[in-house]
Structures are given as structure tokens and as C-alpha cells.
Amino acid sequence: MLDNTNIKASIQSRLRTRFIGQQLYYYPTVTSTMDIARRLATEGAVEGTVVIAGTQTAGRGRLGRSWLSPEGSVALSVILKPPLDNLPQLIMIASLAVVKVIKKAIGLDAQIKWPNDVLVKSKKVCGILIENEVKGCEVDFAIIGIGINVNFDPIAFPEISNIATSLSHELGRAISEDEVIIALLYELEQLYLAAQTGAPIHQEWRDRMETLGKWIQVRTGTNLEQGKAEAVTEAGNLILRRADDSYTEIVAGDVTVIKD
């Protein structure tokens, strides 16, 4: 459980980052950290500003879905101002950072389900949402929202228990949410800076992708495609080979695995 008495000071005193998290806001309860971060960004918040919530009452995920965020979860949003060319890499940076933290800080193996879910033992443990504000050829701001199931029993939430898990459930013990946040902000900053120097973020992201090689269905709006996930592009798009051996490139969608 997050230390509500002085969470801001507790985290900032242990941060190893240059700018991510150096301006930090903590709220015991909010509708959504994305809402707060967007307001701060439009008011001119500095790059690296972080919003953390103990719980969210209206957390949201991709495709207009709600995101369950009870006590014991980590919910945060990070305001960034990347070059336009780096925008497609934000989803890679965020999901890779989570995978690295789960391995380094907790000792569990995690994989990425295209485009941005993080799985442990084939169950969802983290969701990521990216929202951008672009004016002309410049990024006004980008917000990375990350929700990690850290310390709660997924069985207590029947609406997600079949598809989701938590780190504590898989590890068999409670985990410091503070430490998860501190490690996550560090990994985010390292990957974000590396991407801007041309580091092969895409390759590492691809190597952690559990979707590749599987027969899947991808729903994009009212369109449904089915085939084998062959590759991902440097922009993060999925290359799907249909049953007739034709190919299609998918920018975003909702993936369901048919068979490995």
C-alpha cells in the first residue's frame, strides 16, 4: 500500500532520475491521473511531471474502456515533450519499462501483448494509454498513463479475474508500490533518452512481444482481420499475414489469440 502520509517526499527522495518525477503530484483518490496530467500539461507543466493516484474512480484504458484501479494498484501519468519522430516509440518505451521493472525489481518474467498490454503468465498485469497533443509539426505534449496491478487479489474482482492477475498474486507476497514507482520512473527516463539518441528500442520491444507467431484476430473499429502475427514495424504497427498469404499492416486494434 502506498504511504499516503508523505508519498511525494518518500518517492522523490529516492528517485535516480534527472527530470521524470522531479515535479510530482500525489492524490489519494482521483477520477483519472490522465485527466489531471492533461490539465497540468495545458497549463504549461514541465516535461517529466508525474501524477500518481492511490485509487482512480474513473480510470480509462485503450479503445474507450474503463480501467479498474483499486487500492493496491499503481496508477500514474507522465507528461513528456518528445520530438515528433519519437511519438511512435512512446508505447514501446512504456511497455518495455514495465517489463524491465517486473523482472529487475520483482523477479517475474513478463511479456508484451501487442500493442501495449503487459502479461505475466499470459494474464494482464499492466495497461498503458498514450494521449498526444500535436500542433503542426511539433508535439505540444504527450502523456503516458500506466496502470499496474501490484497488491490486490484478482479473484476478488470477478469482472477481471479470468484475464488479469497482480504481481503480489503471482509472487505470493506483498510488494512495495513505492519501489515499483521509483524503479518505473527510472526505466522510463533511461529508455526515453536512449530512444532520442537512436537506440534500437524497437528491436528490444519486438523481442518481448508474445503476440508474434500466433494466429490472432484484430478488431479495429468495425473491421476484423484474422491471420498470423508476422512482425512489428519500427513505428509499432503489426504486420499480419492472412490465410491467403496476403499481408496487411495494422496501426492499432484489439487482439484476440486464436491459437499459438
Q: How far apart are the first and last CA of the chain?
A: 37
Does 237 lie in the same domain as 169? Answer: no
Does 114 lie in the same domain as 230? Answer: no
Does 82 lie in the same domain as 32? Answer: yes
Does 246 lie in the same domain as 166? Answer: no
Domain assignment present for 2: no
Domain total of the chain: 2
Task: Please give the residue range of the domain that contains residue 233.
Answer: 215-259
DSSP, res 190:
H
Does 178 lie in the same domain as 246? Answer: no
Mean pLDDT of the residues in the chain:
91
Report the CATH number that the domain containing residue 70 is assigned in CATH. Answer: 3.30.930.10
Domain assignment present for 1: no
pLDDT at 126: 95
Domain assignment present for 83: yes
Task: Give Cα separations from 153 to 31, 96, 157, 248 (angstroms).
Answer: 22, 24, 8, 39
pLDDT at 222: 84
pLDDT at 231: 95
Tell me: pLDDT of 60 over 70. no
Domain assignment present for 101: yes
Q: Among 60-69, 125-134, 171-180, whose mean pLDDT is lowest?
A: 60-69
Does 220 lie in the same domain as 245? Answer: yes
Other beta carbons less than 10 A from residue 16's beta carbon: 11
What average pLDDT does this structure show over 5-20? 89
Tell me: pLDDT of 59 over 90. no
> Which residues are 225's β-sheet partners?
218
pLDDT-based confidence at residue 67 (cuts at 50, 70, 90): low
Does 151 lie in the same domain as 128? Answer: yes
Does 237 lie in the same domain as 141? Answer: no
Q: Among 90-94, 112-116, 235-239, 250-254, whose mean pLDDT is lowest?
A: 250-254
pLDDT at 220: 83
Does 111 lie in the same domain as 45? Answer: yes
Does 246 lie in the same domain as 196? Answer: no
Domain assignment present for 135: yes
pLDDT-based confidence at residue 223 (cuts at 50, 70, 90): confident
Domain assignment present for 243: yes
Does 138 lie in the same domain as 240? Answer: no
Burial class (CB in 10 A: 0-12, 13-18, 19+), 259: exposed
Report the CATH number that the domain containing residue 221 is assigned in CATH. Answer: 2.30.30.100
| 148-166 pLDDT per residue, tens | 999 988 888 888 889 999 9
Does 226 lie in the same domain as 136? Answer: no
Give the C-alpha separation, 64 to 85, whole Å. 26
What average pLDDT does this structure show over 64-88? 85
